A and B are shown apart, each in its own frame.
Chain A
Amino acid sequence: MNTAEWLDIGWVDQIPVRGSRTVQVEGGDDIAVFRTAEGKVFALLDRCPHKHGRLSQGIVHGGAVACPLHNWRISLSTGEALGDDKGCTPTVPVKIDGGRVLICRASTLKAAA
């Protein structure tokens, strides 16, 4: 259920393990929501800091996703590029409540703006 602080985007199970789904934000960039092998859920702006590749389309491994365009690895928890690459994708706080995925409303608006 949406609140002033959180947006309810669906069930955790809707996100494939080691996969991603997107949340469309009208007038802005999508938010990519990831689920790792360990079952943790993260949300990031769906945009690689490098050449704006869709991170939601990348391969999720460990706590990172590899961008499909040039294989930059982006940390799901911090949004920072890993290895020698420098760059950061805005992150969106996530909480799980009774199997539902909630993402931070303010951060979503800010990230997607």
Chain B
Amino acid sequence: MEHRPLKPDADTREHLVVIGNGMAGCRAVEELLARDPSRYRVTIFGAEPRVNYNRIMLSPVLAGEKCFDDIVINDAAWYADNGIALVAGDPVAAIDRAAKTVTARSGLVETYDRLLIATGSDPFIIPVPGKDLPGVIAFRDMDDVDMMLAAADAGGDAVVIGGGLLGLEAAHGLSLRGMKVTVIHLMPTLMERQLDEAAGWLLKNALEARGQTILTGADTAEIIGTGKVEGVKLKDGTLIPASLVVMAVGIRPSIQLARDAGLAVGRGIQVDDHMVTSDPAVLAVGECVEHDGQVYGLVAPLWDMCRSLADGLVEKPSGYRGSVTSTKLKVSGIDVFSAGDFSGGDGCEDIVLRDASRGVYKRVIVKDDRIVGAVLYGDTADGSWYFDLLKKQKDVSDLRDLLIFGQAFAAGGGAADPKAAVAALSDDAEICGCNGVTKGQVVSCIAKGAHSLDAVRGTCKASASCGSCTGLVENLLALTLGDDVQSGPKTMCKCTSFGHDDVRREIVAQDMRSIPEVMQKLHWATPDGCSSCRPALNYYLLCALPGEYVDDQQSRFVNERLHANIQKDGTYSVVPRMWGGLTNPRELRAIADVVEKYNAPMVKVTGGQRLDIFGIKKEDLPAVWADLNAAGMVSGHAYGKALRTVKTCVGSEWCRFGTQDSTGLGVKLERMSWGSWMPHKFKIAVSGCPRNCAEATIKDFGVVCVDSGYELHVGGNGGIHVRATDLLCKVANEQEAMDYCAAFIQLYREEARYLERTAPWIERVGLDHIKARIVDDDLGRDALRARFLFSQSFSQDDPWAQRAEGAEAEHHAPMARFIPQEELA
């Protein structure tokens, strides 16, 4: 179907007249044609004598990176092919809504059935003396670019008024074209609408390094010159010479035509959700409109508006709901991005990453676990991802820790290449949260010779506390050193070249009996080890030599030495054992008495169904224990690499769902296994039915009772890395459940590395290995169980009772007291 332009008599279709041949006007027509190519006869009026081009790309044209033909969106053939009449270079001067006509500057009159106003915006010219001098221009269309190019050919000085996006792009282009450019910006930082203060400051420094002069907080008083521009005078009296002044202080919706036609206007032409103005026959779209009180100066909302407009024109109204905007730009070759609200305020939290040497700044603003704004400078790769999270209002609490590192890292999971993600981190990115170590510090520590994980741990402390960043550190080692990483089995610590497994094997093989003997025979590099290897060796010897090895108190962490948990103020917390989570009036009374007698400031119910008494002084511990012992309570080992708690539900005794006596089994398991030292802490739970109220499937050993018996689960963890248990097997009765539990604990005690929980241990050796040893090998299981019970015969000796009776008293009492006042007296 061919409809040639300007043959109105032959064409009976409704006539759509578009005022504006820019991005919005043409996009609206494109959207319309996509929906129904033949519904309307279309005429477009354009002020510029050109086809439709991409205004955003004027900057690359100015910079010499592109020419006009490169930025054309729709060429002359497009108008012809679609039967669109283009009236270019002849702007519409008046609208007569009563007659439904428009009149162009040339006097051409066109009637319309529907009128679309897409006049865009006008550059704002600050009303200073000299603003009309030749050589003072805006930066809005191709004509402005041509004038700037002509000025640049003559060389000399240029002043750009306005340090927003447009002004900076003009400055960059003129600078590249050889002019000496000064940017005058009224506000204290550049691009304050898109960038926060920090990013604005980085940008200013970068532009200055490129040779531009940036004056912020500078207010223009007048533009001087006779006959043509000669310079700009600031209110503080500074005079800046210039043969070209580019006024780029902002844009205003172009609404004069609409206002003269009597349409409702505010800041822009007011439209409803279907882009219809106060006159149902007249529509408006783009930067010239005001929708729901908002005007937009960016291109993305325009696309949304054009879709809604076209839907309305073909009578399938969808409705425009406003846009959340983001800005992703290249300013003078520097990537910047901003989206949403970055002004901060109540309830907003900032997550900030700075990497000064790489010129990267990232800031994500989070409120109520949702991203409300983002500012990126230097590296905007993740801008769209943040913007997507912002628009979708996604809960980011799960991603929060890694959010600032970007999508590949935070959302990558197993899919992303972790090494690439680590490589992409900036030097200021925090690697180790426990010790506050940044990537830069880790890398510099590696560069200084720490060529193994343990060496890194020893020098900069990264991964030396909770170890959850070990993978990151290992990737940094690989990235920094390539093949030179000292890998192989990880050494126990920097005191030895042996790994944990080697040391354990040698302890048994050579029948070593003390820590000094191990250090001697295995050529320890340090005289008496360190705080990493000594506790490990002490445990390995204790496990290998039950009843024979004498525990080395000085090789235990303070909590295990003092049988209480040290708190950050130097006081201790005390958790008496409550078998299977059961207690009675006598125990509760004793606890209450202790709390009052020793002024404990807090008592807390723990996650393990016990009571934790806080704020006990080191000197008072033996007396506290004596009081608790008197009521029949023993140490809960809440401080140790040992059996902690056995959590239970009420089971068949009380619960209508209970299938077995979970409480009773829990008490039996706790009685069997309390007091045993292990590679790490060990938690057990018993649930009376599959509802699993005791959370047995995140414990090291969990029993879930079912009608037909007992499911045994192993290797769960509810800590930093949550891991649900693996099902080990199902057994028929309580005794079997206890036997398997004892065997499993002993296997863990004998094979896991010190400070390795059951979860990573099982992941390392594989569930099949555990099953082969515990389920498939009856004799082996019995032997393991027997070894555990033998070991327990030495370990079930309440450490509190021993100390309450005076053992290890020196740990609790000061050696001497010194009272300065008495000395003076």
Contacts and interface: CB of A to CB of B under 8 A. Distances in A.
Interface of A: 2, 7, 9-10, 14-19, 21-27, 30, 33, 37-38, 51-54, 57-62, 66, 68-73, 83-85, 108-109
Contact of B459 (A15, A51, A84): A84
A11 to B, nearest CB: 9
Contact of A17 (B529, B554, B558, B566): B554
B821 A26 contact: yes
B816 A23 contact: yes
The residue in B527, B561, B816, B821 that gathers the most chain A C-beta atoms within 10 A of its C-beta is B816
Given A14-B810, A57-B558, A83 B816 contact: no
B554 A84 contact: no
A37 B818 contact: no
Nearest to A2: B823
Given A14-B810, A61-B530, A71-B465, A9 B816 contact: yes
B28 to A, nearest CB: 62
A2 B441 CA distance: 48
B562 interface: yes
30 contacts: A7-B816, A9-B818, A14-B815, A15-B815, A16-B554, A19-B553, A21-B810, A22-B815, A23-B816, A23-B818, A24-B814, A25-B819, A26-B821, A30-B814, A51-B568, A54-B570, A57-B558, A57-B566, A57-B570, A58-B558, A59-B531, A59-B556, A61-B528, A62-B527, A66-B531, A69-B568, A71-B465, A83-B460, A84-B460, A109-B820
A25 B818 contact: yes
Given A22-B814, A61-B529, A69-B566, 12 more contacts: A15-B815, A25-B818, A25-B820, A30-B814, A33-B815, A54-B570, A57-B566, A59-B534, A62-B528, A66-B531, A84-B441, A84-B461
A2 B556 CA distance: 34
A21 B815 contact: yes
B201 interface: no
Given A59-B557, A83-B459, A68 B566 contact: yes
A10 B554 contact: no
B617 to A, nearest CB: 11
Contacts of B814: 21-24, 30
Contacts, number: 111
Nearest to B552: A18
A23 B568 contact: no
B445 interface: yes
Contacts of B559: 68
Contacts of A26: 817-821
Nearest to A47: B570
Contacts of A18: 528, 554-555
Interface in B731-768: none
B707 to A, nearest CB: 48
Nearest to A36: B528
A66 B530 contact: yes
B531 A58 contact: yes
A7 B566 CA distance: 29
Contact of B461 (A59, A69, A85, A109): A85
**5 residue pairs, one from A and one from B, having the closest CB atoms:** A66-B531, A21-B815, A57-B558, A9-B816, A59-B531
A83 B458 CA distance: 7
A68 B557 contact: yes
B155 to A, nearest CB: 54
B434 interface: yes
Nearest to B562: A57
Contacts of B815: 9-10, 14-15, 21-23, 33
The residue in A24, A57, A59, A68 that gathers the most chain B C-beta atoms within 10 A of its C-beta is A59
B663 to A, nearest CB: 36
A71 B461 contact: yes
A24 B434 contact: no
B526 interface: yes
Contacts of B527: 37-38, 62
Contact of B445 (A33, A38, A84, A109): A84
Interface string B454-469: 0000111100110000
Interface string B598-625: 0000000000000000000000000000
A75 to B, nearest CB: 14
B708 interface: no
Contacts of A23: 814-818
Contact of A27 (B459, B554, B566, B820): B820
Interface string B232-250: 0000000000000000000
Nearest to B819: A26
Contacts of B435: 70
Interface string B559-575: 10110001010100000
A70 B554 contact: no
Contacts of B535: 59
Contacts of B562: 57
Contacts of A73: 531
A34 to B, nearest CB: 11
B447 to A, nearest CB: 13
A51 B816 CA distance: 25
A51 B570 CA distance: 11
B533 to A, nearest CB: 9
B443 to A, nearest CB: 13
Nearest to B460: A84
A60 B566 contact: no
Contacts of B528: 18, 37, 61-62
Contacts of B445: 84
A37 B552 CA distance: 13
A24 B818 contact: yes
A104 B814 CA distance: 18
A24 B816 contact: yes
A18 B559 CA distance: 16
Interface string B513-527: 000000000000011
A23 to B, nearest CB: 5
A73 B435 CA distance: 13
Nearest to B815: A21
A15 B816 CA distance: 11
Nearest to A33: B815
Contacts of B553: 16, 19
A51 B434 CA distance: 13
A70 B464 CA distance: 9
A97 B460 CA distance: 39
A89 B685 CA distance: 44
